[in-house]
Amino acid sequence: MPNRARDESQIKPTDLRGILKYVPMFRDHIFVIAMDGSVIDHENFVNTITDVAVLRSLNIKVVLVHGIGKQLRDLAATRGIVAADVYGEGPTDAATMALAREATGVVSQTIIEALSHSGLKTAVTNAVRATEIGVIKGHDQLFTGKVDKIDAPVLKNLLANDIVPLITPILCNRDGHSLRVNSDLLAAEIAVALGASKLIYLTPFPGLVIDGVVTVNIPLKELSGILAAKKGQSIEERLQSKARFSIKALEHGTPRAHILDGRIVGGLLTEIFDKVGLGTMIHANEYEQIRPARKKDAQAIHNITKLGVKNEMLLQRTRQYIEQHIEEYYVYEIDESVIGCACLRKYPGKSIVEVGSVYVQSFYQDRGVGKKLVDYAILKARELGASKIFALTTQSYGFFRSVCGFEDGSLSDLPPQRRTETMANGRNARVLFKQLKRARK
């Protein structure tokens, strides 16, 4: 994969139109952003908080988790103390714990000041409880802890009141005693507990560096295999824990994890809103519940689409027609029950395809299933080598336009065969299309 590292002179701030394109996609979603101590100590930190303010202005809910590695290391050097472990991955002795508490206070206040300057409300909360790791392979981990409980309702209540929760790597246990927790682990646990759409690690690295090369994007299974081989030694050492905990978050339902350089102006917004991005995106297979339809699915597809036909949202198709064209259909399945469908129609001699019959059972509507079906159609269209995909709709214009990113078209954009059919059926459907380019989100 190509190395995507860039210097600041190559980064262009994402323009307003580019951001607005993705606003409907992420509105009211939760992003968990973990910031390394070195990123907080960098001169670009103020710009990063400005990026967070932009996300909040777009109704994206943000939880911040911070590290203290650099600050703890600097404090230890200044005091002439040998720190037991600065990243919370090994044993934390009493002297290191005292320095960690001091560093946490300074870093937290720095973040609070920056958020206040940007007009954002924040709260440092004890909604996350820790417990001691204990003894591992004969070694007492002392004051190093792990996440014991996350009070998700408290965090969601803060988010609902436009407050940015700030989580530190020093947590209390049941008895109120402080423990040091690795901030990478902490961010991943919070992302899972809150059902976050994105887990974002801001680091001093250009992305996930594997064998010296920055990976643009990587599937969960591939990254898991790399970590399993040679214990992940091909991954930059300081990024190994971020890779491990990204995997953990994705395995428990978080759709995307991002690792990027937090020292670049506009980097956070670029990663989220730009088609190419800035760092590395790790993604789960969100299409696992989508499969090609089989002949035995024809009746289920016909039943699902009946209501859409009744409401004049869909063109009527008989069960026999669906069965005869079953190779064009694919279904969304939950617990072996078909709850949604769509079809992908090809046209001879044209690099253009049609997505149609997109419909989801009423109980599962407004849960993103329809968009996944359209996204899957786009994925398959690209695999077919198509350069354009179009849709015809009478009542789902907003869905295709705002949610799926289609653009307005006209009858002239359709293949001749489909143009003739459309003019003959009298539905006066609107034409929307999307150019197919390499992109990721």
- pLDDT band at 425; cut points 50, 70, 90: confident
Tell me: the pLDDT tens digits for 86-96? 888 889 999 99
Task: Tell me what pLDDT residue 17 has.
Answer: 61
Rounded mean pLDDT of 389-408?
92
CA distance 25 to 17: 14
E strand or H helix at 378, and its extent? helix 369-383
Task: Tell me what pLDDT residue 5 has.
Answer: 38
List of residues 6+ apart from 68 with CB closer than 8 A:
37, 86, 100, 103, 104, 107, 169, 183
CA distance 322 to 318: 6
CA distance 164 to 160: 10
Rounded mean pLDDT of 106-119?
97
Higher confidence at residue 31 or residue 426? 31
- pLDDT band at 275; cut points 50, 70, 90: low
Are 187 and 245 spatial neighbours (Cβ–Cβ below 8 Å)?
Answer: yes
Tell me: the pLDDT tens digits for 144-165? 999 999 999 999 999 999 999 9
Closest CA to 249 of 192, 197, 175, 203: 192
Task: Give the side-chain half-sphere CA count within 13 A for 348.
Answer: 1
CA distance 28 to 61: 6
CA distance 391 to 83: 61
Beta strands at 170-172 and 163-167: parallel, antiparallel or unpaired: unpaired
Tokens of 115: 């958020």
* Percent of all residues in the chain with a pLDDT value above 70, rounded to a whole number: 91
CA distance 125 to 146: 17
pLDDT(395) > 50: yes
Rounded mean pLDDT of 243-253?
91
Task: Tell me what pLDDT residue 436 has.
Answer: 86
Tell me: the pLDDT tens digits for 186-220? 999 999 999 999 999 999 999 999 988 898 888 88
Tell me: the pLDDT tens digits for 361-387? 887 777 778 998 999 999 899 888 898
Direct distance between the N- and C-terminal alpha carbons of the chain, in angstroms, rounded to an integer:
17
Strands, sheet with 388-393, edge to edge from the N-terminal-most edge strand:
290-292, 329-334, 337-346, 352-360, 388-393, 430-435, 407-408
Domain ranges of the chain: 8-283, 290-435
CATH code of the domain occupying 8-283: 3.40.1160.10
Tell me what the pLDDT averaged over the chain comes to.
Answer: 88
Task: Tell me what pLDDT residue 284 has.
Answer: 79
pLDDT(6) > 60: no
CA torsion through residues 275, 276, 280, 283, sign: positive
Place of tokens 């907080």: 40
Higher confidence at residue 315 or residue 235? 235
CATH code of the domain occupying 290-435: 3.40.630.30
Task: Tell me what pLDDT residue 4 has.
Answer: 40
CA distance 411 to 432: 10
Task: Tell me what pLDDT residue 155 has.
Answer: 98
DSSP label of 235: B
- pLDDT band at 231; cut points 50, 70, 90: low
Rounded mean pLDDT of 406-415?
91
4-13, 284-293, 369-378: least confident range: 4-13
Query: Rounded to whole angstroms, what are the CA distances from 288 to 193, 300, 372?
Result: 22, 19, 11
* Percent of all residues in the chain with a pLDDT value above 90, rounded to a whole number: 61
Core vs surface per residue 402-430: b (16+ CB within 10 A) or e: eebbbeebeeebbbeebeeebeeeeeebb
Rounded mean pLDDT of 417-429?
89
Task: Tell me what pLDDT residue 264 has.
Answer: 95
- pLDDT band at 232; cut points 50, 70, 90: low
